[in-house]
Each structure stands twice: as C-alpha cells, then as structure tokens.
Amino acid sequence: MGHILADHHTWEYLGFILVVGLLLWKGVPGLVGKMLDERAAMIAAELDEAKRLRAEAAVLLADYQKRAAGAEAEAQAIVADAKAEAARFAEESRVALKAQIARREAAAQEKIAQAEAAAVNEIRGLAADAAVSAAQKLIVAKLDEKRASGLIADSIKGVGEKLN
C-alpha cells in the first residue's frame, strides 16, 4: 500500500473525487441545471419574440404589397385619364383649328371678292372716263356751230314733253 500512496496518479484520482464530492455537496449540479434552465427559458422567450416580430413583419409586408398594388392601379388610372384627356384635347384642337381655317378662308374669299369688285368698279370708272374723253374729242372734232345750235334747240323742245 505504500507504493499506492507514492503514486501521483492516486493523488490525482483522490483530488478529483474530493472536488466532485465538494461540488455535489455544495449543489453545483443544481445551480448549473438552474442556469441552463434560465438560459433555455431566455432562448425560448427570444424565439417567441422573433416569431411575433416575424408575424408582424409578414402583416406589414402584406399591407405594403396591398398598398403598392393600389398605388400601381391608381397610377395606371391616372395615366389612362391623362391619355384620354390628351386625346380629347387633341380632337378639340383639331376641330377648333379647322373652324379657324374655315373662318380665315371665308374672310380671304370675302377680301378677294371685295378687291375684285373694287377693281371692276375702278376699270368701269376708267372706261367711262376714257369713253367720255373720247366722246368729247369726237364731238369737238365733228360738231360745228350750226349743228350745235340745232341740237340745243331740239333738246329744249323735248324738255317740255319730258316734264309732263
């Protein structure tokens, strides 16, 4: 037995048994179990919180997706309304432009007609002036004193008949 006490492995085993015994006597396994249970409860609480947050995030995501779809539909409706308004405005502009062109064409035709009438009147006036001038020259060239007196006498006789 002497050599057992001299062996350092024996003292190591004995020290190990004493440490384990002391740990058991002080209730260390219960403390470790309690700490592990607390840690497990804390992890379970964190998992529950994570599940709750994930559910909230899923609800928010669904809400945002719904809003995004609504916004997309509203944007498409706005674009469709804008296109319809632009088409209506273009049609109204075409109609107004055609009416304006027709009014301007009518005004131009009227001005042309007035200019033609003025030109015809001016030509008639010039023709009348030329005829009067030519007649005057003809009368002066062909009318002598005796003939002029005869014409005046005939005119005076015809005045009485024309007045009655």
Please indicate, yes or no, if residue 94 is contained in any of the structural domains.
Answer: yes
Residue 163 lies inside a defined structural domain of this protein:
no
| pLDDT number for residue 141 | 76
Q: Is residue 146 part of a domain?
A: yes
Asked if residue 104 belongs to a domain, the reply is yes
Domain range spanning residue 34?
28-156
CA–CA separation, 151 and 145 (whole Å): 10
Residue 162: inside a domain: no
Tens of pLDDT, residue by residue over 26-35, are: 777 778 788 9
User: Which of 58-62, 84-88, 153-157 has the lowest average pLDDT?
Assistant: 153-157
| 108 falls within a domain | yes
Residue 37, in any domain of the structure: yes
pLDDT tens for each residue of 139-152: 777 777 777 777 77
Q: What is d(CA 109, CA 112) in angstroms, rounded to the nearest whole number?
A: 5
Q: Is residue 8 part of a domain?
A: no
Distance CA 145, CA 141 (A): 11
Residues 29 and 23 sit within 8 Å (Cβ to Cβ): yes
104-120 pLDDT per residue, tens: 999 999 999 999 999 99
Structure-token pair, residue 27: 């209730």
Total domains in the chain come to 1
